[in-house]
């Protein structure tokens, strides 16, 4: 059980100090989660902390690769608009 | 104490009507007289810089995109290089030495400074010790403000800007999709309500401590435009010193919610109307340029590219000798401003107040005129028309000059022989000056001269290197004498002597 930070991360540091397991660390080209340390906040918080403050949709995924904050969930921008402006494709590429 | 404040006056009846600071008590004038973001007069002479040490944010705003890394955009929340506190401290000392008229260091992002308290306060603490001649200020969304007021007051930070867009959580939910609060992401009205409460509480706590608070509001037509007059009243009653209503910046290519959803920003006229409406209640700021979170220089200019990390790391700084040089520069500017103020005051004394009152009733209603000015600082008309990156827009009446905004432009002339699509840029610029009747610059080429005239705007370079306000009054007087201001005047004209 561990979460993962993927390439759409913008390195904003917001998640790093929140992690109760100190599993998040600065790396290039983007922050990473130490899978051995990550507990998905089980036992510490009701909500997963990194994914609760992360401002970037689809930047944090679970072990199945499913985004904790799917496209459109944080900005309320409709999916068709995200596609129309190439935002989904650009990030998925 | 500087000469400027020594010659100042705390009476509201003294000083020119154009001087928004003249009604302030002495101790506040002392704090703002050289702060470009708090004093319109200061912004012509003193520079500021932002250091981008605060990347994290605790809320989402619909006008912001957190993929902030863009070199070519000029708007809040955008930076090129994120700095560590150590790098930020070095950069500040380098800039303060190289640009001695830099008086203010602000932390404004690219996220929220108070969502990055360690990085922010480490920077402030080191600078308050090493560079006591630099004013420190911070700009925040207010969510984490109450818990940090005590710490802010410790670090010699006497200017705080809070962005307050609304008092009504229903409106807030249309601006803020979520906040991060007590370890949870809270969406919609509930989140907006907490944010608003924290902002108001923070404002009250700061003013109680005597810290100067400026309130920024983003005017979003159809969302909060009708609500901002109320915001203005309330923040004033709680002790905010200055209200800065800024137009929404929303372009699809910025990737923001408002940009992609094609939310329109206000027109120059709509913005001015709201600012005018709020002015009776509140001291309004009209010279804001909505700068980047890593801007360097006078407002309206950005010299950030001269101070990139690789450049500043190679530089050695002797700050104590720099501080001596800075003091001389600051004193000279202050003396110059004091001299100007005195001249103005003497000018006023030629006419006794009594005689004004007697003749004031049937005052001729010469209409006011919008004029655009090209300047590179110093309060002087000293910029070539084709080199101007922006024009300051003034409303000029026969006895009063008021800065009401600015028009940004792509530089129409790049200074070499190939003009590229110069013509279209020029056309665009002329459109952005719509409503202005005169453009004053230090110099202007033949082609733009013709095109301005065609567009009904009078180009004027007769006042090159003259102080802006005096030149504008002189132009207004010339226009009045030539009869150009009579067509739209109302009945009062008959009363003219």
Tell me what pLDDT residue B94 has. Answer: 94
Write the residue in B56, B180, B183 that is nearest to A45 by C-beta.
Answer: B183
Q: Provide the 3-class DSSP secondary structure of residue B472.
A: helix
Within 8 A of A18 by CB-CB distance, chain B residues are 183
User: What's the CA gap between B310 and B158, in Å, rounded?
Assistant: 31
Does B180 sit within 8 Å of A10, measured CB to CB?
no
Shortest distance, CA A36 to any CA of chain B (angstroms):
23
Question: Which residues are within 8 A (CB) of A61 and not within 5 positions of it... i.e. 6 or more apart?
Answer: A3, A4, A6, A67, A68
B262 touching chain A per CB within 8 A: no
Which site among B174, B176, B184 would you substitute to test the A interface, given the most A Cβ atoms closer than 10 Å to its Cβ? B184
Fold topology of A1-93: Alpha-Beta Plaits (3.30.70)
Shortest distance, CA B57 to any CA of chain A (angstroms):
7
Write the residue in B60, B178, B252 that is nearest to A85 by C-beta.
Answer: B252
Q: Kindly identify which residue of chain A lies nearest to residue B261, measuring between CA atoms.
A: A77
Q: Kindly identify which residue of chain A lies nearest to residue B60, measuring between CA atoms.
A: A55
Is B338:B10 a contact under the CB 8 Å cutoff?
no
B260 touching chain A per CB within 8 A: yes
What tokens appear for B205 in the block?
Answer: 């706590």
Does B257 sit within 8 Å of A77, measured CB to CB?
yes
User: What's the CA gap between B193 and B66, in Å, rounded?
Assistant: 22
- Beta-carbon pairs below 8 A across chains A and B: 63
Does B115 sit within 8 Å of A10, measured CB to CB?
no
Does A81 sit within 8 Å of B260, measured CB to CB?
yes
Write the residue in B118, B183, B252 that is nearest to A49 by C-beta.
Answer: B183
A46 touching chain B per CB within 8 A: yes
Own/partner contacts of B205-211, CB < 8 Å, gap of 24 or more, are B205/B145, B205/B146, B205/B149, B206/B145, B206/B149, B206/B152, B206/B160, B207/B238, B207/B239, B207/B240, B208/B239, B209/B149, B209/B153, B210/B158, B211/B149, B211/B152, B211/B153, B211/B157, B211/B158, B211/B159, B211/B160
Within 8 A of A14 by CB-CB distance, chain B residues are 55-58, 111, 115, 180
| pTM of the shown model | 0.81
Q: How many helices (H) and strands (E) does chain A have?
A: 3, 4
A49 touching chain B per CB within 8 A: yes
B257 touching chain A per CB within 8 A: yes
Q: Kindly identify which residue of chain A lies nearest to residue B174, measuring between CA atoms.
A: A76
Listed by start position, the domains of chain A span 1-93
Q: Which residues pair with B157 in a beta bridge?
A: B136
- Which CATH class, in words, describes the domain spanning B364-493? alpha beta
Is B413:B449 a contact under the CB 8 Å cutoff?
no
Within 8 A of A76 by CB-CB distance, chain B residues are 62, 177, 257
Q: Kindly identify which residue of chain B lies nearest to residue A45, measuring between CA atoms.
A: B183
Tell me what pLDDT residue B43 has. Answer: 85
Does A53 sit within 8 Å of B58, measured CB to CB?
yes
- What kind of architecture, by CATH, is found in domain B26-314? Alpha-Beta Barrel (3.20)
B26-314 and B364-493, same CATH topology: no
Write the residue in A13, A17, A53 that is nearest to B185 by C-beta.
Answer: A53
Q: Kindly identify which residue of chain A lies nearest to residue B111, measuring between CA atoms.
A: A12
User: What's the CA gap between A6 and B108, in Å, rounded?
Assistant: 27
Shortest distance, CA A75 to any CA of chain B (angstroms):
6
Does B260 sit within 8 Å of A77, measured CB to CB?
yes
Per-residue tens of pLDDT for chain B, all 497 residues = 333 333 333 333 333 333 455 566 777 777 888 888 878 888 888 888 999 999 999 999 999 987 755 555 556 666 678 899 999 999 999 999 999 999 999 999 889 999 999 999 999 999 999 999 999 999 999 999 999 999 999 887 879 999 999 999 999 999 999 999 999 999 999 999 999 999 999 999 999 998 999 999 999 999 999 999 999 999 999 999 899 999 998 888 888 999 999 999 998 889 989 999 998 778 888 888 778 778 888 887 788 888 888 888 888 889 999 999 999 999 999 888 888 878 777 765 555 555 555 555 455 578 999 999 999 888 889 999 988 888 999 999 988 888 888 887 765 554 444 445 555 778 888 888 888 999 999 999 988 999 999 999 999 999 999 999 999 999 999 999 888 887 554 444 444 43
B116 touching chain A per CB within 8 A: yes
- The 10 Å Cβ neighbour count of residue B459 is 18
A6 touching chain B per CB within 8 A: no
Write the residue in B55, B111, B257 that is nearest to A76 by C-beta.
Answer: B257
A2 touching chain B per CB within 8 A: no
Within 8 A of B255 by CB-CB distance, chain A residues are 85, 87
Listed by start position, the domains of chain B span 26-314, 364-493
Range list of β-strands (E), B164-265 = 178-181, 184-187, 212-219, 242-247
Does B66 sit within 8 Å of A81, measured CB to CB?
no
Q: ipTM for the complex?
A: 0.94
B80 touching chain A per CB within 8 A: no
What Rg value do the Cα atoms of chain A yield, rounded?
13
């Amino acid at each position: 059980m561990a979460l993962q930070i993927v390439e759409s991360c913008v390195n904003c540091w917001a998640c790093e100090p929140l992690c109760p397991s100190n599993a998040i660390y600065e790396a290039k080209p983007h922050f990473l989660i130490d899978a051995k340390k990550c507990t998905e906040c089980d036992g510490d918080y009701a909500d997963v902390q990194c994914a609760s403050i992360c401002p970037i949709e689809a930047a944090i995924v679970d072990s199945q690769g499913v985004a904790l904050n799917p496209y459109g969930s944080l900005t309320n921008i409709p999916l068709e608009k995200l596609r129309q402006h190439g935002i989904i494709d650009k990030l998925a590429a | 104490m500087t000469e400027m404040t020594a010659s100042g006056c705390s009476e509201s009846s003294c000083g020119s009507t154009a001087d928004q600071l003249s009604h302030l008590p002495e101790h506040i004038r002392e704090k703002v007289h050289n702060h470009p973001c708090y004093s319109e007069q200061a912004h012509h002479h003193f520079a500021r810089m932002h250091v981008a040490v605060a990347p994290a944010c605790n809320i989402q705003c619909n006008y912001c995109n957190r993929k902030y890394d863009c070199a070519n955009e000029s708007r809040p929340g955008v930076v090129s290089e994120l700095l560590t506190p150590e790098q930020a401290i070095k950069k500040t000392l380098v800039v303060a030495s190289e640009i001695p008229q830099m008086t203010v260091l602000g932390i404004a992002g690219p996220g929220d400074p108070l969502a990055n308290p360690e990085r922010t306060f480490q920077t402030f603490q080191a600078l308050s010790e090493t560079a006591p001649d630099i004013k420190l200020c911070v700009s925040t969304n207010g969510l984490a403000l109450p818990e940090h007021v005590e710490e802010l007051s410790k670090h010699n930070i006497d200017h705080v800007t809070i962005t307050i867009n609304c008092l009504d959580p229903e409106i807030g939910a249309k601006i803020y999709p979520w906040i991060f609060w007590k370890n949870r992401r809270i969406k919609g009205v509930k989140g907006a309500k907490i944010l608003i409460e924290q902002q108001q509480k923070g404002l009250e706590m700061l003013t109680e401590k005597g810290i100067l608070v400026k309130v920024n509001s983003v005017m979003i037509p159809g969302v909060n435009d009708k609500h901002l007059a109320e915001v203005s009243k309330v923040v004033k009653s709680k002790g905010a010193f200055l209200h800065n209503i800024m137009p929404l910046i929303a372009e699809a290519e910025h990737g923001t919610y408002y940009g992609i959803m094609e939310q329109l920003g206000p027109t120059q006229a709509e913005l001015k109307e709201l600012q005018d409406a709020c002015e009776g209640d509140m001291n309004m700021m009209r010279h804001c340029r909505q700068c980047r979170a890593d801007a360097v220089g006078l407002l309206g200019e950005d010299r950030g590219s001269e101070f990139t990390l690789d450049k500043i790391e190679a530089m050695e700084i002797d700050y104590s000798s720099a501080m001596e040089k800075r003091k001389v520069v600051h004193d000279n500017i202050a003396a110059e401003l004091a001299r100007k103020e005195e001249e103005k005051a003497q000018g006023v004394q030629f006419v006794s107040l009594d005689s004004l009152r007697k003749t004031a009733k049937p005052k001729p209603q010469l209409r006011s005129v919008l004029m655009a000015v090209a300047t590179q600082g110093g309060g002087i008309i000293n910029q070539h028309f084709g080199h101007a990156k922006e024009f300051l827009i003034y409303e000029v009446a026969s006895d009063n000059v008021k800065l009401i905004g600015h028009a940004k432009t792509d530089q129409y002339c790049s200074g070499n022989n190939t003009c590229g699509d110069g013509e279209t840029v020029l056309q665009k610029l002329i459109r952005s000056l719509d409503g202005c009747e005169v453009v004053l610059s230090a110099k202007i080429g033949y082609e733009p001269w013709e095109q301005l005239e065609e567009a009904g705007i009078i180009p004027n370079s007769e006042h090159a290197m003259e102080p802006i306000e005096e030149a504008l009054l002189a132009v207004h007087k010339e226009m009045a004498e030539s009869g150009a201001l009579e067509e739209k005047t109302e009945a009062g004209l008959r009363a003219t002597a």
